[in-house]
Structure 1
Amino acid sequence: MQHDLASMIKEKKLFLLDIDGTVALGSELLPGAADFLYTVKENGGIFRFLTNNSSKVARDYVEQFHDWGIETTEEEFITAGTYARDFLKKYYGNEKILVAATETYCNELRKAGLNITDQAEDDVDCVLCAYDTELTYEKLVQVCKQLTETKVPWFATNPDLRCPIDFGMVPDCGSICRMITASVGREPEYIGKPAPGMVYACLEETGCTPKQTLLIGDRIYTDMECGKRAGVDSCLVLTGEASAEEWKNGFRCQSLGKLVGYFS
């Protein structure tokens, strides 16, 4: 399998990278991540960051990567939040949306021209829940009220149950939604990974083919499943949530840093 991994990587041009648990843990860049990005560029490759973390927007990541000594552009980051924003703009651009999310993300939705509220109201047309690091009980109450009293569609940015940070794990969007589901008896439609739309957007933007593309991440049920649904190869790194025992039949590597050696 390792020999196959080396052969496979040499055929790739577009590298789609998860961030939390793959490139970084919390505010700390993982060892070898910068070397991997440098190696991709040195070999004529392209990278895009595909993250389900909707608590931040692209410019937040550009600033964070700059602090790590890595220069990037906003166009290189595709988040479940920005993808959900574009989805809502396309299908609910003229409607009212109840949103439970960070203020940073809510501001991003407002800048896109979306009519959002944090209160359950009769004229709300859909609900969006995101990975909310500023979550309050009142936000949960308003979402539950809206979903109980009306039958409007319920969307969520991502199904991740846990988000890896420096000391371990914290609840992610999927866990927040499970609390709501337990209360209202409904489940959301998730927009981010493992749905393949973010991968398709990168293929269209870069002009790369699925055969030229490798998705790298630390979660099986989002990252690896996303690669499968999108028809691209994927590689699990063991710096985040999943273990080698859980992913025995697919490509895997200890870390991004360890993948550098496969380019030579």
Structure 2
Amino acid sequence: MILNSSLLVSIEKHFCGNELLNGEMYMEGIKHYLIDMDGVILQGTKLIPGAAEFIQRLRTKGASFLILTNNSRYILRDLQVRLHDLGLEVPQEAIFTSALATAQFLHTQRPGGKAYVLGEAGLTTALHDIGYILTDQKPEYVVLGETTTYSFERITRAIRFVMAGARFITTNPDVTGPGEGGIVPATGAVAALISAATGAKPYFIGKPNPLMMRTALRTLDAHSEDSVIIGDRMDTDIVSGIESGLQTILVLTGVTTREQVERFPYRPTWIHKSVADIEVEG
């Protein structure tokens, strides 16, 4: 197998960086930060200790940042208010969701198209904003996002549209999510149901697809070489960062433990207990 030069540079940067730095934080040259929300900024319905201070350090140093989430349910205003109520002040422009990434992707592929949508306000609003028509009459796309109100009737309709030729798009591949009393089935699980019935595999927009990272970088007008992603999951945040040429920070406040890191064939550039420990270069 022949590796292209950009991939070799990315691999060298990540693996050699770990050996040379020996676990020490060294953030020189980093100007842009992509920050996962759940497990990094939030832990359930609570702000992770030190998260607000970390965001303030970014602002003080003049670093640009986006808070990312694979969850497509909420519009930006709702997420901004949610963070505000927890004690974190960020503008709407500093939040980026898989719904926005999905809308931007569809706009580049087929501007002004028609879609049948299973999702909530975050997704439907994002699609309306780029000029899409939401319809149940011969849609060009079936777009699946997060919702707590999946119905057998709507899933059946989505299956029939896909079988009739509609393209199948899904905001993210997460199969479970947090809910009252425990986990609940999420977008990936419903996508698997539709795939089993139709034989059609969806195109997933959100992490770990590096498309979401690149779309976020364009939103910041940033380049991968001076950017970093901070996440709590090796299988979504870190791998998508590596594949996008970003430096990567794994924090241990979410899903992945330090011991589990060794099970993966790739490594983060740095590992930290939480965002509270991350220094920001001026």
Question: Equivalent residue of 2:250, what SS?
Answer: strand
Aligned to 2:101: 83
Structure-2 separation of matches of 1:102 and 1:75: 20
Q: Is the 8 A contact 1:155 1:191 kept in 2?
A: yes
1:39 aligned to which of 41, 46, 57: 57
TM-score by length of 1: 0.86
TM-aligned CA deviation for residue 163 of structure 1: 2.7
TM-aligned CA deviation for residue 129 of structure 1: 0.5
Over 3 Å counting, the alpha-carbon distance change for 1:57 and 1:241 in structure 2 is same
Q: Is the 8 A contact 1:96 1:126 kept in 2?
A: yes
Over 3 Å counting, the alpha-carbon distance change for 1:232 and 1:30 in structure 2 is same
Q: Is the 8 A contact 2:101 2:215 kept in 1?
A: no
TM-aligned CA deviation for residue 197 of structure 1: 2.7
CA RMSD between the two structures: 2.6
Question: Equivalent residue of 2:26, what SS?
Answer: helix
1:199 aligns with 2:217: no
Over 3 Å counting, the alpha-carbon distance change for 1:166 and 1:259 in structure 2 is farther
Aligned to 2:141: 126
TM-aligned CA deviation for residue 236 of structure 1: 1.7
Question: Equivalent residue of 1:252, what SS?
Answer: strand
Question: Equivalent residue of 1:54, what SS?
Answer: coil
TM-aligned CA deviation for residue 34 of structure 1: 0.9
Structure-1 separation of matches of 2:161 and 2:116: 8
Give the letter aligned to residue 257 of structure 1.
Answer: A
- My pick for the range that moved more, 77-86 or 155-164, is 155-164
Q: Is the 8 A contact 2:25 2:278 kept in 1?
A: no
2:168 aligned to which of 140, 154, 161: 154
TM-aligned CA deviation for residue 41 of structure 1: 2.4
Question: Equivalent residue of 2:209, what SS?
Answer: coil
2:43 aligned to which of 25, 30, 34: 25
Question: Equivalent residue of 1:8, what SS?
Answer: coil
Aligned to 1:179: 193
Structure-2 separation of matches of 1:112 and 1:128: 14
Structure 2: any 5+ residue segments left out of the alignment? 1-17
Question: Equivalent residue of 1:170, what SS?
Answer: strand
TM-score by length of 2: 0.81
Aligned to 2:112: 94
Structure-2 separation of matches of 1:235 and 1:52: 18
Aligned to 2:273: 254
Count of residue pairs the alignment pairs up:
259
- My pick for the range that moved more, 150-159 or 198-207, is 198-207
1:69 aligned to which of 75, 78, 87: 87
1:115 aligns with 2:133: yes
Give the letter aligned to residue 92 of structure 1.
Answer: R
Structure 1: any 5+ residue segments left out of the alignment? none
Structure-2 separation of matches of 1:166 and 1:252: 30
